[in-house]
A and B are shown apart, each in its own frame.
Chain A
Amino acid sequence: MSNGMTPIVKTITGWVKGFILVFGIYIVLYGHLTPGGGFAGGVIIAMTFVLITLAFGKDEALKRFRIGIASELDSVGALMFLVIALLGIAGGLGGTFFTNFIAKSNPGEPYSLMSAGTILLSNIAIALKVGSSLFLVFILLVMTKVLYREPGEKP
C-alpha cells in the first residue's frame, strides 16, 4: 500500500486532485450565496488528501499535509470560530454572543462575496476545523496497524 495503486489511478489522481481542492475552496467561500458551506467544503478539502493517500500511499500525502500542521489547523479553526463569537460581544452593536457585527455596521452589497460579514469568516473557520480533523482521523487509521498478542505469546 505504501507504493500506492496502479499507474492509471495515479495519473488520473494527478489530473483531478487540483480541481477537487479548488471546488472545495469554492464551496467554502461561496457558502452564503450557493448551497454548501464550511462543513461540506471542509470535507471535500479533506477528500483531496484522502484521494492522494489512496492513490500514492500515505507518505506522499504526509509530505503535503503533515500531521502536526493538521492538528494545529484543527485547533486554530475551533478557536477562530469562538473568537468570532466573542467579538460579537466585544465589538458588536447589540452586544450578544454571535452578533454579526460586520454585516450590521457596514453592510455589503447583496449577492456579492463580501456581503455576509462574519458568516464568511465562520465558514472558513469551520472548513479549517472539519477538513484538517477528518484528514487527521483518516491518516491515523491508515497508519495504525494493530496486532493483538495474548499474554506470554511469542511475537
Chain B
Amino acid sequence: MLEMMGLLLLFMIIAAIVAIETRDILAAIISVTAVGFGVIIAFFYMRAPDVAIVPIVVEVLVLVILIRATLRVGLKTFVGNRDFFGMMVTMAMLFVIFLAAIRAFNDLPTFGEPVITRMMDAPSRLYIANGLKETGAANIVTAVLLDYRAYDTLGEATVLFTSIIGAIAVIRRKARKKPSEPEVGEWEE
C-alpha cells in the first residue's frame, strides 16, 4: 500500500508542476483536476469512500464550470513574467512552513494507523461504540456529520449559502451604481 501511495504522490506532484508551468490554460485546469483525482484514489486506498464520493462529484462539476468559463471568454494562455523578489519571498515562506511541518509530522501516528490507537480518550471511540444505538444511523460518518457534529454542518451550509448570494450579486444582469460614482467603462451582457 505504501508503494502505491508513493506512486500516487509522484503522479500528483508531476501534475501540479505541469499545472503551474504550462502556458495553456486548458491544460492547467485539467492538470489541477488530475491532482484532485489522485487525492480521491488515495482516499479509496485508505478505505474512506464517504470522504471520496464528495470530491468526485465536486471535481467533475468544477472541471465543467472552469472549462466553460475559460473557453467562452477566449482566454487561452498566460502572459507575464515572475518577479524575482516575489519568488524569493515565496521560497522563504515555503521553507518556514516546511520546518514547521517536520515538527508537526513527528507527533502524528504512522501512516494509515487510526488516531484512536494512540489516544485512549478520543471522542471517536465513543462515536463508534454508541453511534448506532444513539442515532440509529448505520453509516457512522453521517451520524457524526449530521448528529454529533451537526453544528459544523450548519456552518458549512451557511458558508455555501453566503457564497452563492455573493456570486449571484457579482454576476447579476444589471449593475447598480450611484450617480456620484466616477464613470468607468461599461459591462454589456
A interface residue numbers (CB < 8 A to B): 27, 31-40, 43-44, 46-47, 50, 54, 74, 78, 81-82, 85, 97-98, 100, 103, 107-108, 110-111, 115-119, 122-123, 126, 129-130, 133-134, 136-138, 140-142, 144-151, 153, 155
Residue among A50, A82, A149 making CB contact with B61, cutoff 8 Å: A50
Which B residues have a C-beta under 8 Å from some C-beta of A?
49-50, 53-54, 56-58, 60-61, 64-65, 68-69, 72, 132, 134-139, 141-143, 145-147, 150-151, 153-154, 157-158, 160-161, 164, 167-168, 171-173, 183-189
A37 to B168, Cβ gap below 8 A? no
Q: Are the C-beta atoms of A147 and B188 separated by less than 8 Å?
A: yes
Selected contact of A35 from candidates B134, B139, B147, B158, CB within 8 Å = B139
Contact A34 B57 (CB under 8 A): no
Identify which of B58, B139, B145 contacts A33 (C-beta below 8 A).
B139
Select which of A43, A78, A149 is within 8 A of B188 by beta carbon. A149
Q: Does the CB pair B150–A103 fall under 8 Å?
A: no
User: A40 to B168, alpha carbons, bound, how many Å?
Assistant: 22
Across the interface, do A122 and B135 meet the contact criterion of CB distance under 8 Å? no
Bound together, the chains give a CA A32 to CA B135 distance in angstroms of: 10
With A and B bound together, what is the CA distance between A132 and B173 in angstroms?
20
A153 to B167, CA, bound (A): 28
Cross-interface CB contact of A54 among B64, B146, B168, cutoff 8 Å? B64
* Cβ–Cβ contact A36 & B164, under 8 A: no
Which of B65, B142, B171, B185 makes the CB contact (< 8 A) with A119?
A: B142
CA–CA, A108 and B133, complex, Å: 10
Q: Are B188 and A34 within 8 A (Cβ)?
A: no
Chain A: CB-nearest residue to B188: A147
> Do residues B136 and A115 form an inter-chain contact, with CB atoms below 8 A?
yes
Contact A137 B189 (CB under 8 A): no
In the complex the two chains form, is B142's CB within 8 Å of A151's CB? no
B188→A146 contact, CB < 8 A = yes
Minimum C-beta distance from B163 to chain A (A)? 9
Give CA–CA (A117, B147) in the complex, Å. Answer: 10
A136–B172 CA distance with the chains assembled, in angstroms: 12
Is there contact, CB below 8 Å, between A138 and B160?
A: no
A142-B68 in contact (CB<8A): yes
A122 touches B186 (CB 8 A): no
Answer whether A78 and B168 are a contact pair too, CB < 8 Å, given A32-B138, A43-B58: no
Q: B69 touches which one: A85, A126, A141, A150 (CB < 8 A)?
A: A141
Contact status B50-A133, CB under 8 Å: no
> Distance (Å) between the CB of A28 and the closest chain B CB?
11
Taking a contact as CB atoms under 8 Å apart, the answer to whether B167 and A37 are in contact is no
